[in-house]
Structure 1
Amino acid sequence: MKQIVFKSTVSSYGTDKYGNKRYGITIPSKLKEKGKELYGKEVIVIVILPDDEE
């Protein structure tokens, strides 16, 4: 199992064909090469909100 840790923002990506909202996480450009490894693969996402954003 590989682990990559980075800070990002959850953004709205419009709606799907059924009208349900879609959301996504942008991988920072400094992790561009590692992002290519992730494309199309199933991942486990753990969300930790910083104390100053609760």
Structure 2
Amino acid sequence: MDRHTAGGRIDQFRLYLLAERGRSPHTAESYASDLRQWLQFCDCLLYTSDAADD
């Protein structure tokens, strides 16, 4: 999954939390922020791993 697709899924998840689960906007944004940070961490791991393979 590319970063653009993952970002879209995170936004969909945030909207789901708001509309379907009735979570507060702050909670939904906090979850989305955590997921974006995790995605960035995973990107760093992949970049580091790719660089080590060279």
Q: TM-score category by the smaller chain? A: under 0.3
| Greater fraction of residues in helix | 2
Tell me which of the two structures has the higher relative contact order, counting C-alpha pairs closer than 8 angstroms and 6 or more residues apart. 2
| Greater fraction of residues in strand | 1
